[in-house]
Amino acid sequence: MRKLHIFLIAFIVMTTFSLQEVKASGENNLYHQRMKLYKQVEAVTHIPWYYIAAVDQYERNVRAARRDLPKAGGASGIYFPPEQWAGIFNPNHEDENPATIDFFGGMGFDGNGDGKASRKSDEDVLHAFARYLQSYGTEQSHLKIGLWDYYKRDKAVSIIMGFAKIYKHFGRIDLEDHSFPVPLTSNYSYKNTWGDARGWGGRRIHEGTDIFADYGVPVRATCYGIVEMKGWNRYGGWRIGIRDIHNNYHYFAHLSGFAKDLKLGQVVEPGTLIGGVGSSGYGPPGTSGKFPPHLHYGLYKDNGYTEWSYDPFPHLKLWERQERQKMRKR
Ligand SMILES: [Zn+2]
């Protein structure tokens, strides 16, 4: 049964991957189209494009992870509930008339000047959100307040600010590459141990994949992202958490130590050195050697309300294969 599951997951991952390859040229177009929209909004509102891009991406992620929201259809990922767009007391929730929407205090806005404020128009939707933010000001501190008032959630604000920092740093939004967490040339092994029982510290299940390798083997960022957490925990030892632009949290535990100069809030890319394989954990700070050295790698997903762990094994397999293909091409 277990084997069948693994096979099915691998099959799904492989099919999605090949579909993604086919779609790749279309996606480049989409990134181009989005960037153009963000720059247009920046020109009008003076809110730097990377903040617009960050909100758009956050909303797209939340929609992709939740069943109670319609999937994003256009280039923009921002979702406005009808009554929020038209105004709560507007008897017509599908109203597209900018004047009556304005009268009822809706957020809807005609961004492309076609006389209609349409939830189906990428320009209208992006301009509407930017206009809301602009009412707070265009500085980072103002935008943060605007975002907090909108989402009422510290985590949403910090995730969006993180995305903005990443986009600003790289000056682009197509940041989809991944790396395998240890060099493919090193001696390592791993198998799927998702859900296995773990004894230490009470009954827990194993939320991740263990990659066995020697002490000090380099551990690298798997994605474009931001260092969200760095420190000691009695289970995970020296550990690092990195947030990517899909609301995924990449967790690296039992490290021997951290890469020199690695800081909280630092922007990383696939392959950035973050630490070394070790056996730290299962005790007070500095405890090490209670089990063979390995990297514990976990993946967590945030959907705008809550965060849960999911099996990283199929992703590790995929990134390992992609990296091997890239090495061959060189
Ligand atoms: Zn583990």
Domain count along the chain: 2
CA of 182 to the centre of ligand 1 (A): 15
CA of 190 to the centre of ligand 1 (A): 10
- Domain presence at residue 246: yes
pLDDT digits over 264-274, tens only? 999 999 999 99
CB burial readout 123-143, b (16+ within 10 A) else e: bbbbbbbbbbbbebeeeeeeb
- Domain presence at residue 18: no
Q: Give yes or no: residues 149 and 230 share one domain.
A: no
CA of 316 to the centre of ligand 1 (A): 14
Q: Give yes or no: residues 162 and 259 share one domain.
A: no
CA of 93 to the centre of ligand 1 (A): 50
- Domain presence at residue 96: no
Q: Who surrounds ion ligand 1 at CB < 5 A?
A: 208, 210, 296
- Domain presence at residue 151: yes
CA of 206 to the centre of ligand 1 (A): 6
Q: Give yes or no: residues 212 and 155 share one domain.
A: no
Q: Report pLDDT for 20.
A: 53
Q: Quote the mean pLDDT of the chain.
A: 91
pLDDT digits over 68-121, tens only? 898 888 899 999 999 999 999 999 999 999 999 999 999 999 999 999 999 999
Q: Per-residue pLDDT averaged across 219-239, rounded?
A: 97
Q: Per-residue pLDDT averaged across 278-289, rounded?
A: 95
CA of 194 to the centre of ligand 1 (A): 9
Q: Per-residue pLDDT averaged across 190-195, rounded?
A: 86
Q: Give yes or no: residues 41 and 144 share one domain.
A: yes
Q: Give yes or no: residues 275 and 144 share one domain.
A: no
Sign of the CA dihedral with 112 first, then 116, 122, and 124 last: positive
CA of 204 to the centre of ligand 1 (A): 11
CA of 330 to the centre of ligand 1 (A): 33
Residue type, 62: V
- Domain presence at residue 98: no
Q: Per-residue pLDDT averaged across 108-135, rounded?
A: 96
Q: Give yes or no: residues 143 and 238 share one domain.
A: no
CA of 57 to the centre of ligand 1 (A): 30
- For residue 56, give its domain range: 29-80+119-170
